Every structure is written in structure tokens, then in C-alpha cells.
């Protein structure tokens, strides 16, 4: 999944669709679901006093805008943040550009948003 062509192939549902990413996503859902079920049965985590689970479940403008930007970046660039960093080991110039743009966006967001809150 370090190859952006696979991600773009997964998103190309009317062309040469590549379903391999669906198996990766399905595997992630199974692992996350299992982890949540195990967490619910535990009194507390092994290395902390309590679980730190988000309680805010509202859908607001920053969430929607951020999700849209993430999806556009993922679709256009073919990278998620984690695989993008892992792809730096391959040495592709577009990976370096994507990670640099991602870090610049994160820094800009942190500086702008911290002023608002």
C-alpha cells in the first residue's frame, strides 16, 4: 500500500478498479473492532489509570472541512499520512513532496487553529 497507484486504482471505480485496498481497510476495521471490544471488557489499561476515549461526537464544520481536505489529498496524492512517511524509504520524489506539503499543512493548521481556540 506504499504505492500511490494502488490507492488511485481503488478510487477509480469506473476504470481499472483495484479492490486490494478494500482488504486492507477491512482488516483494519476487524482489528479496531476487536481492540474496542477488548477495551470495553477491561477495567483500566495496563500502563495507565484510565482509558482516554473521545466523548465529543458532534459533527461540526472543522470536522467536515478537515475530512474533505484529507480525502482530496488522499485521492489526488495517493497517500495517507502513515504510508506516506513509510514511503520515504522508497525514495520517490513525489513522496518527499507529499510529506513536505503534509507537514507544512499540519504546521499551518496548528498555528492558525491555536489562535482561534
Domain locations in the chain as residue ranges: 4-116
Q: Which pTM value belongs to this model?
A: 0.64
CA distances from 33 to 26, 37, 38, 40, 81 (A): 11, 6, 9, 11, 22
Residue 47's pLDDT is 93
What confidence score (pLDDT) does residue 26 get? 94
Work out the average pLDDT over 27-41. 95
Per-residue model confidence (pLDDT) at position 117: 58
Grouping H, G, I as helix, E, B as strand and the rest as coil, residue 32 is helix
Q: Which of 13, 33, 16, 37 is nearest to 25 (CA)?
A: 33
Contact call for residues 5 and 94 (beta carbons, < 8 A): no
9 Cβ contact partners less than 8 Å away, ≥ 6 residues apart: 16, 17, 18, 21
Predicted confidence band of residue 35 (pLDDT cuts 50, 70, 90): very high
pLDDT band at 51 (very low <50, low <70, confident <90, very high): very high
Tell me the pLDDT tens digit for each residue of 53-79: 888 889 998 889 889 988 888 888 888
Q: HSE of 30 in the Cβ direction (CA atoms, 13 Å)?
A: 6
Residues 85-106, mean pLDDT to the nearest whole number: 88
Query: pLDDT for 5-28, tens place per residue?
Result: 888 888 888 988 889 888 988 999
Amino acid at each position: 500500500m506504499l504505492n500511490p497507484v494502488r490507492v488511485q486504482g481503488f478510487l477509480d471505480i469506473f476504470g481499472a478498479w483495484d479492490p486490494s485496498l478494500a482488504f486492507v481497510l477491512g482488516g483494519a476495521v476487524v482489528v479496531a473492532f476487536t481492540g474496542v471490544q477488548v477495551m470495553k471488557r477491561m477495567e483500566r489499561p495496563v500502563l495507565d489509570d484510565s482509558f482516554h476515549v473521545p466523548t465529543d461526537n458532534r459533527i461540526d464544520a472543522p470536522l467536515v472541512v478537515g475530512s474533505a481536505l484529507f480525502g482530496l489529498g488522499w485521492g489526488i496524492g495517493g497517500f495517507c499520512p502513515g504510508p506516506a512517511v513509510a514511503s520515504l524509504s522508497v525514495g520517490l520524489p513525489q513522496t518527499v513532496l507529499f510529506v513536505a506539503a503534509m507537514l507544512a499543512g499540519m504546521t499551518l493548521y496548528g498555528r492558525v487553529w491555536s489562535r482561534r481556540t
